[in-house]
Structure 1
Amino acid sequence: MASPTKNFAEGAVLFGIGLALRLFTEDIEIPVFTLTKLGVVLMAIGGIEILYGVYRTASSRSGKSGS
């Protein structure tokens, strides 16, 4: 299983790539999908990864202090 730091880092990278796609690809057209919509999806997935990393960090800390 991946460490919480890895989840947080992957989420931050995905969020950054999604934000770049959302901001800078409005005039580029691809027949299959829109890059700005792909950017929003990547930002959402990245945000979920970041929240999951924070959750795992908090739950591991609370588990250690309770022992």
Structure 2
Amino acid sequence: MSITAELINEKIKDFERDLKQVLEEQKKARDSCIESERSCLEVKRLTINAIADAYIRIENTI
């Protein structure tokens, strides 16, 4: 299967969309996690995992 610029651009747009969603969720969670340090650490872990998952999807395509 040949990789086209269109496919790569589509995956980049997917990554950007996913990243934007993650950052929006992180902001909401950060705003509410002031109550608990544990919650803040969980938000950071979930954010890192979501970004890594999106990146892995792009790597697997390429």
What's the TM-score once normalised by structure 1's chain length?
0.46
Larger radius of gyration: 1
What's the TM-score once normalised by structure 2's chain length?
0.50
